[in-house]
Amino acid sequence: MTRGAIVTIAGGGGAIRAGGSVHSAVWPSSDCQAFPTPVRNHADAMIDYHALILRTVAGLDPNTEETRRAVYERTRTALANHLHALDPPLSETERMHQRLALEEAFRRVEAEVEKAAQSGRPFPEFAHALFVAGSLRKLADRLDHTSYGARISLGHDGAFNLALPTTPADEATTTVPFFEHRLSEIRRNAEALDVLAAPMAQQPGWHGLAHAARLTRNLLNAPATEVAREVAHLWILSTCLAAHIERSEDARASHVGLTGPLDPILLQVLREFVFVAGPWVRRFPSARALDDAAREHDCAVDAVEPAIEFFRRTREAALVRDDDARAVWIALDAGRGVSVPAAKARSWAVATVGNIAVAMVKELATGPDRAEGEPAADAAAPAGATRPIESVVLDSERELLSVLARLSDDDGAALRDAFAALRQTTGDAGQATDR
């Protein structure tokens, strides 16, 4: 038998059938084992016995120690017959290497069966999570969170936490002379803006303005120390409000895509608020750092719509809380413009959505069999939290190619490879369910 062919090894009698396909070698049923012929002197060509055995054991019904041992014995016999039939034959050292690799695969699968039982998860589900992790691990290693978007972590309830920068120096800013006087003035302006902007919530193109005005007023009405802790949110909102000034000017000039420009009185109040609040907010170190980062990291307008669609799926899966989602929605909407404030809002919002995507990929790539003490997004996150994450990722290939390609150095090649492997994994899971 020539080397390099795919060989199917029937479990019942240990007979070898040459041929087959790569797909059949990826998910053998519980009645057979399939693997490619070993290649001499190529360590990288070692058969992935673990994947083959894992898929077979995941399809066993019932899955007991006895049925697993029967699979292992049939596979040992089939491999021995297969290696004996090779022409030219492998050396004794090479054959021993193959047998030891198979035994290691048995050991790993038994350990995984035990971990699945300890976690209370059905083994087919546990094994599926292992294959998903394997599909995404190389991609996860190439990705990292950006420093100019919100920091993301997975919480105990299965939703992602969004953390904005803060520093003790922000609170120190509240002690400078005239701070309270200027804050009182900004509060009055925010109240007037909220009253005038509220009716715009139902107007096409202006709902973000209404929501930003209301959130800004609520934040500014807090005590001064709390205002300082939330100054990053204030920077996002004030930047988005500034973008709406430019949106109104664009609407006045072109009347394209909007019902019309803002009412002159509302526009004047908006200008007055942004004129005072913008520089005031940037006096806080955290807000100034966000502003500088947004200027430095430009983001194309065509990245907004894919980010919106991905974030919509994330929100519908309850993977982001309402309080965190509002600022992201407002900034994504404001980022549709081409003005400088719109570009700043877009830079932060798309980077934040990208960080959420990175956190999802890394969580899935960690897998359910992480070693004790191995870091994860949040070790206390519920086991079922990965199911909605996986669903969002699988449904978002096109959007993730846009959102994550800008964070990698290979123009999305690793992402495309990961999705090809994911499609194979989910297809295999469907076949296992059918069986």
Per-residue tens of pLDDT for the chain, all 435 residues: 444 433 443 333 333 233 332 223 333 333 444 455 554 444 334 678 999 999 999 999 999 999 999 999 999 999 999 888 888 888 999 999 999 999 999 999 999 999 999 989 999 999 999 999 999 999 999 899 998 999 999 998 899 999 999 999 999 999 888 888 899 999 999 999 999 999 999 988 899 999 999 999 999 999 999 999 999 999 999 999 999 999 999 888 875 555 689 999 999 999 999 999 999 999 999 999 999 999 999 899 999 999 999 999 999 999 999 999 999 999 999 999 999 999 999 999 999 999 999 999 999 999 886 544 444 444 445 556 788 999 999 999 999 999 987 777 777 888 999 999 888 876 655 444 444
Q: How far apart are CA 30 and CA 64, in angstroms?
A: 13
- Looking at the structure, tell me whether residues 99 and 173 fall in a common domain: no
Contacting residues for 42 by C-beta, under 8 A, at least 6 apart: none
Structural domain containing residue 365: 144-417
Give the 3-state secondary structure of residue 6: strand
- Looking at the structure, tell me whether residues 114 and 233 fall in a common domain: no
Q: What integer pLDDT is reported at residue 2 of this predicted model?
A: 44
Give helix 207-220 / helix 231-254 axis angle, nearest 10°.
150
- Looking at the structure, tell me whether residues 171 and 54 fall in a common domain: no
- Looking at the structure, tell me whether residues 247 and 326 fall in a common domain: yes
Q: How far apart are CA 337 and CA 215, in angstroms?
A: 21
For 254-281, give one letter per residue: b (16+ CB within 10 A) or e.
eeeebeebbeeebbebbeebbebbbebb
| CA distances, 425 to each of 56, 303, 398 (Å) | 13, 29, 18
- Looking at the structure, tell me whether residues 186 and 242 fall in a common domain: yes
Q: What integer pLDDT is reported at residue 254 of this predicted model?
A: 77
Query: Is 313 domain-assigned?
Result: yes
- Looking at the structure, tell me whether residues 178 and 319 fall in a common domain: yes
Q: What integer pLDDT is reported at residue 370 of this predicted model?
A: 59
Centroid of chain to Cα 352: 11
Query: Is 106 domain-assigned?
Result: yes
In the block, tokens 């969004």 appear at: 162
- Looking at the structure, tell me whether residues 191 and 232 fall in a common domain: yes
- Looking at the structure, tell me whether residues 365 and 277 fall in a common domain: yes
Does residue 335 contact residue 304 with C-beta atoms inside 8 Å? Answer: yes
120, 154, 172 - which closes a domain: 120
Query: Is 430 domain-assigned?
Result: no
Does residue 432 contact residue 59 with C-beta atoms inside 8 Å? Answer: yes
Query: Is 138 domain-assigned?
Result: no
Kind plus residue range of the DSSP H or E element containing 279: helix 264-281
- This prediction's pTM: 0.84
Q: What integer pLDDT is reported at residue 70 of this predicted model?
A: 96
Q: How far apart are CA 161 and CA 177, in angstroms?
A: 35
Domain count for the chain, please give it. 2
Does residue 104 contact residue 72 with C-beta atoms inside 8 Å? Answer: no
Query: Is 27 domain-assigned?
Result: yes
Query: Is 111 domain-assigned?
Result: yes
Query: Is 220 domain-assigned?
Result: yes
Q: Is 367 exposed, middle or buried (0-12, 13-18, 19+ CB in 10 A)?
A: buried
Q: How far apart are CA 74 and CA 57, in angstroms?
A: 13
- Looking at the structure, tell me whether residues 72 and 170 fall in a common domain: no
Give helix 340-366 / helix 386-394 axis angle, nearest 10°.
120
| Tokens found for residue 342 | 């719109």
Q: What's phi and psi for 47, nearest 5 deg?
A: -60, 140
- Looking at the structure, tell me whether residues 110 and 164 fall in a common domain: no
- Looking at the structure, tell me whether residues 96 and 157 fall in a common domain: no
Query: Is 136 domain-assigned?
Result: no
- Looking at the structure, tell me whether residues 154 and 263 fall in a common domain: yes
Q: How far apart are CA 387 and CA 360, in angstroms?
A: 11
Number of C-beta neighbours around residue 42 at 10 A:
8
